[in-house]
Each structure stands twice: as C-alpha cells, then as structure tokens.
C-alpha cells in the first residue's frame, strides 16, 4: 500500500505512432501513456487497433512512424528492452507451446530460470502465482499444456505473466483475459488486478465485456479505426457512452423471445444419458438451448459428442444436417495458411460447386454477403485469415457455420473476442433463424448470453445437474446450480 502513495511514474508512453498493413491503417497517430498504479481499460470495435498498439508497447512491432519510450529511456525499443522494463503481455491468441509442460512454458517466458533445479523452481513459482490469482485451481506444473482446457490455458498464460522470476513485472497487458473464463474465475482475476495495481503495478485491460472494464479500470481509452476516440476517467463513462464512442449503435439489451413455449415442437437432437445423470438432454426444433456452468465442466465434450453422433466419420455428409462453431479458433477453427474467403466457404463447397468445380463467382458472392452482414473488417477477402484481428477471425467462423443453413448449429463459446455491436447483430440472426426452425445449442461463458436462451442445462463435473427454462433462467439460479447442483 505504501508504494501506491508514491507519485505515479510513466511506465511507457507512445507518441504519434503509425502502423500500416497494406491498405489498412492499423494505427493512425496514437498517443498513449501508462502510469504506475493504474488499470487502463482499452476498448474498441474489432479491428480498431488494440492488439496492434499492444504489440508496439511490448516491442514486437516497430512503429512505422512515431516513438515508444519506457520510463525515461527513449533510445531503445524491441522485445528485449520492453521485457527489461517489466512489460509483460498475456495474448488473446495465447502464446503457450502445447507440446511442453506448464513448467517448461514458464521457463520459455522467464530466461532467469536456468541452471540446476530450474524445473522445480519454475514449478514452484508457477504454483505460487496460480494460487494467488486463481485460488482453488487444479493445474499442475507438470501438466502438458496441450491437455489443458482453453480456460486453463488462459489461466496459465496470465499466471506466467504476473510471476516474478528475475525482473519484476511493472506493466501487465491482458488482451481479452476473461474470454474463456467463467464469471467466478473472471472475478478472481479482476480482484487480483486491483491488488496488483494497489501495490504499484500497472495493467492494460482489453475486453469487450464493458461491465468488467467499468468496474476495474481507473481510466478508459476508446479506440476507433486506428485512432484514440476518447480517454477519460472510468467514472465519466457509462455502458451507453462507451458503445456510442466506439461508433456502435446503442441497442436495447437483447432479451429472450417472448412466448417461446416450444414444448410441443419436435425433438431434433438428444444425448444418451450417463448412469450418473438423471436429467436427460434434448433440444426441440426452433429452440435456443444454453449450456451453462463453470468453464470446462463437460459442455464442449458434449457438443463434440453430439456433432460426431450426427455426422459421418467415413464419408462427407450429403446434406448439411449440423454445423459447429469452434471457440478455440487457433486450435480447431481457422486454417492459418488460407485466405479469409476460403476459410469462410470451406464447409459449403457442395452448394458452391457447379459441374464438380467451385463456382468462383458464387463463392465470392457468399463471402461478400457475410462480410456485410456481420461487418468482417477487411479490404479484401482474398487476404490471409491471419491478417484479420482476433474478433474478425471469430466472425469468419460464425459465417462459415451459419451460411450452411443447417437445421442444428452447435456453438462452443463462439463469441470470444467479438465486439458488442457485432454480438447484437449475431443475437438477432440467431433469433431470426430460430424463428424459422433452426435449433441452436450454445455453450457460453457469458451470463448475458445464457440468459438469452429458451432453456438452459447447467453442467457440473461432466454431468447435467439442472435444467432451467423461461423465467427460471437467471444468474443466481445458474450459479447456485453450478456450485451445488439441482433445479431451483
């Protein structure tokens, strides 16, 4: 606490920074300074330039114009200089090596962990950081990262960046740190962030969940089209003013459909019960069914089982009976070497084929239609998928699934990193498609999204422990069932 009383110092500042990728001005004259002892909330639409400014600050990208200064030093930039000045970054796309253990990944990030016994020290430091940030977690230092769930990987990435092994972290940049965490884990992290800055550290917090920015940040910077649109104390913003400054239209908060009584509708998908379960799973035609509960309690596994059950492993299906939107986009969503357009249309080749070959004009038209419908921000869909910002890549996966017009769509926490304006558009598309008879099974770590569903199954320890519908669906009842099980 004593350190927080000291007068704040500038940890890093950037002046008039410009970065251009081909025709895209990713940063167009950005000025930003981060002081010790503050949480800076950084928000903006998908493709606004948030990850690009982060990469400039952490030394990965050299600005095409403008300057970066760490503390009083203006001479040197680059990753090594940034690290030496205590700059750390937990990336949106996660930077861990899946074929190494957690302790080995810790070593990669902290060069000071060397010599005899480094593995043991890395493990101890990791466990200490994990226990401080996420008390009660069960990740072990010798776990292979590839075996962890996406939520656990996100926790590991965050813990490794907050830990001290040699140089102390002064500024930790968290790019969408809660996108795979359930509300309990997110709350633990945000409490730790407040504690870290109260002791003199600084955090840049990037999130599309505006409530967590408003509750945690001291100052909020809103980016729009590569520029800073506003920078003010958090207390001077509301959700509405943030959305307006981002350039999105403020809409009524989405609600569950009125009169969505689907009891009589045909059951289109069900899941074999396990002996431990007493609540059978099914979904009806036109229903939006939420899969809730703490992250990693069997929701993704069930979606995968349902997908396998409905699709053939042996031969491509003749009809598009089921579609899947992956949440872990880099692992099982995007084809990194392909263009945006190919990534979007790959599931739909049968519909795009004429005389056994792909009709380029139809493929282009499909791409343009979805680019417009959910605002995929790119000058050209023939560019690499990796030229898109994280949220825009996720939109491509959405478009890939929805363009199939499949009667059943499975969604594995599909809104990771998608901005608030686009989310509202997608919610409307889901409602419209459900009204036409499409069934959605939707695993989400965001409570607001679960509350949009017609019916919700709550998962705990790999099994369904509660079924909620209509007015029963609320944050309180979902949390109660997540921890203790049973219907309200």
Ligand X SMILES: Nc1ncnc2c1ncn2[C@@H]1O[C@H](COP(=O)(O)OP(=O)(O)OP(=O)(O)O)[C@@H](O)[C@H]1O
How near is the Cβ of 92 to ligand X at its closest, in Å?
Answer: 6
Q: Which is nearer to ligand X, 230 or 304 (CB)?
A: 230
**CA 435 to CA 204: how far, in whole Å?**
41
CB nearer to ligand X: pick between 17 and 48: 48
Nearer to ligand X, 207 or 482 (CB): 207
Rg (CA), the chain: 23
| Residue 423 Cβ vs ligand X, minimum distance, rounded to whole Å | 12
**Residues at the contact surface with ligand X, assessed by CB under 6 A:** 21, 24, 26, 44, 46-52, 92, 377-378, 387-392, 417, 419
Tokens standing for 340? Answer: 């945006």
Cα–Cα distance, 202 to 445 (Å, whole number): 27
Name the residue among 465, 428, 470 with its Cα closest to residue 453: 470
- As measured in angstroms, the least distance from the Cβ of 355 to ligand X is 35
* Tokens of residue 305, six digits: 């089982």
Measured from the CB of residue 46, what is the shortest distance to ligand X in angstroms? Answer: 3
Least distance (Å) between residue 26 CB and ligand X: 3
What's the closest the beta carbon of residue 143 comes to ligand X, in angstroms? 28
- CB 51 to ligand X: min, Å: 3
Residues 156 and 399: their CA atoms lie apart, in Å, by 30
Nearest distance, CB of residue 207 and ligand X, angstroms: 10
CA distance 376 to 395: 7
- The stretches of 46-140 forming alpha helices (DSSP H) are 50-57, 79-84, 102-109, 118-133
DSSP lists the bridge partners of residue 271 as 281
Cβ proximity to ligand X, 60 vs 108, nearer residue: 60
Shortest approach of ligand X to residue 371 CB, angstroms?
A: 12
Nearer to ligand X by C-beta: 26 or 473?
Answer: 26
Burial grade of 190 (CB within 10 A; 0-12, 13-18, 19 or more): buried
- Contact at 8 Å (CB) between 425 and 373? yes
Query: Nearer Cβ to ligand X, position 92 or 445?
Result: 92
Least Cα distance to 447 among 421, 471, 425, 473 occurs for 473
As a three-state string, the secondary structure of 180-197 is CCCHHHHHHHHHHHHHHH
Toward ligand X, which CB reaches closer, 19 or 159? Answer: 19
Residue 390 or 407 with smaller CB distance to ligand X:
390
For ligand X, give the closer residue by CB, 59 or 407.
59
Q: Three-state DSSP class for 30?
A: strand
Distance of alpha carbon 345 from alpha carbon 410, whole angstroms: 18
| Of residues 72 and 249, the one with the C-beta less far from ligand X | 249
Q: Give how far Cα 286 sits from Cα of 101, 290, 405, 409, Å.
A: 44, 13, 13, 11
First-to-last alpha carbon distance for the chain, in angstroms, is 43
CB of 417 to ligand X, least distance (A): 5
Cα separation, 220 vs 31, whole angstroms: 14
The overall longest dimension of the chain from CA atoms, in Å, is 75
Q: Which two tokens stand for residue 295?
A: 């992250």
- The full DSSP string for 457-477 is EEEETTEEEEEEEGGG--HHH
Residue nearest to ligand X (CB): 391
Residue 139 vs 213, nearer CB to ligand X: 213
Nearer to ligand X, 21 or 483 (CB): 21
8 Å CB contact between 400 and 326: no
- Which of 159/246 has CB closer to ligand X? 246
The least CB distance from residue 25 to ligand X, in Å, is: 8
Non-local CB neighbours of 260 within 8 Å, separated by 6+ positions:
287, 454, 470
Q: Are 197 and 40 in contact (CB under 8 A)?
A: no
At its nearest, how many Å lie between ligand X and the CB of residue 42? 9
In degrees and rounded to multiples of 5, residue 293 shows phi and psi of 110, 175
Question: Shortest Cβ distance from residue 238 to ligand X (Å)?
Answer: 21
């Amino acid at each position: 606490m004593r350190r927080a009383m000291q007068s704040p110092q500038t940890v890093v500042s950037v002046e008039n920074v410009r970065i251009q990728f081909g025709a895209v001005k990713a940063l167009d004259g950005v000025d930003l300074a981060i002081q010790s002892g503050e949480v800076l909330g950084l928000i903006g639409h998908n493709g606004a330039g948030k990850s690009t400014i982060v990469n400039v600050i952490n030394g990965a990208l050299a600005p095409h114009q403008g300057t970066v200064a760490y503390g009083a030093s203006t001479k040197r930039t680059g990753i090594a200089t940034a690290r030496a000045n205590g700059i750390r970054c937990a990336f949106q796309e996660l930077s861990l090596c899946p074929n190494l253990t957690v302790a080995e990944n810790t070593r990669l990030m902290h060069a000071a962990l060397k010599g005899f016994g480094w593995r043991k020290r890395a493990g101890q430091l990791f466990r200490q950081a994990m226990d401080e940030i996420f008390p009660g977690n069960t990740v072990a230092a010798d776990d292979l990262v590839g075996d962890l769930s996406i939520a656990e990987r996100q926790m590991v990435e965050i813990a490794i960046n907050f830990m001290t092994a040699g140089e102390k972290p002064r500024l930790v940049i968290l790019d969408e740190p809660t996108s795979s965490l359930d509300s309990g884990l997110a709350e633990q992290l945000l409490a730790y962030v407040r504690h870290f800055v109260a002791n003199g550290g600084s955090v840049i917090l990037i999130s599309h969940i505006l409530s967590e920015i408003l509750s945690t940040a001291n100052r909020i910077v809103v980016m729009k089209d590569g520029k800073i649109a506003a920078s003010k104390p958090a207390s001077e913003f509301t959700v509405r003013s943030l959305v307006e400054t981002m350039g999105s239209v403020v809409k009524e908060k989405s609600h569950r459909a009125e009169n969505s009584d689907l009891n009589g509708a045909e059951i289109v998908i069900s899941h074999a019960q396990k002996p431990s379960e007493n609540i059978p799973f099914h979904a009806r035609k036109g229903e939006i069914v939420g899969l809730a509960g703490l992250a990693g309690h069997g929701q993704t596994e069930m979606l995968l089982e349902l997908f396998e059950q409905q699709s053939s492993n042996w031969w491509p299906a003749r009809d598009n009976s089921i579609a899947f939107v992956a949440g872990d986009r880099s692992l099982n969503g995007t084809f990194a070497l392909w263009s945006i357009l190919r990534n979007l249309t790959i599931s739909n080749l049968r519909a795009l084929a004429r005389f056994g070959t792909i009709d380029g004009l139809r493929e282009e038209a499909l791409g343009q239609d979805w680019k417009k419908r959910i605002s995929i921000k790119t000058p050209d869909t023939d560019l690499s998928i990796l030229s898109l910002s994280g949220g825009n890549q996720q939109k491509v996966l959405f478009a890939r699934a929805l363009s199939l017009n499949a009667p059943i769509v499975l969604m594995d926490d599909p809104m990771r990193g998608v901005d608030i304006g686009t989310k509202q558009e997608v919610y409307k598309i889901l409602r419209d498609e459900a009204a036409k008879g499409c069934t959605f099974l939707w695993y989400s770590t965001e409570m607001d999204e679960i509350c949009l569903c017609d019916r919700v199954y709550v998962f705990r320890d790999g099994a369904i422990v509660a079924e909620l519908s209509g007015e029963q669906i609320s944050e309180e009842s979902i949390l109660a069932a997540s921890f203790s099980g049973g219907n309200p």
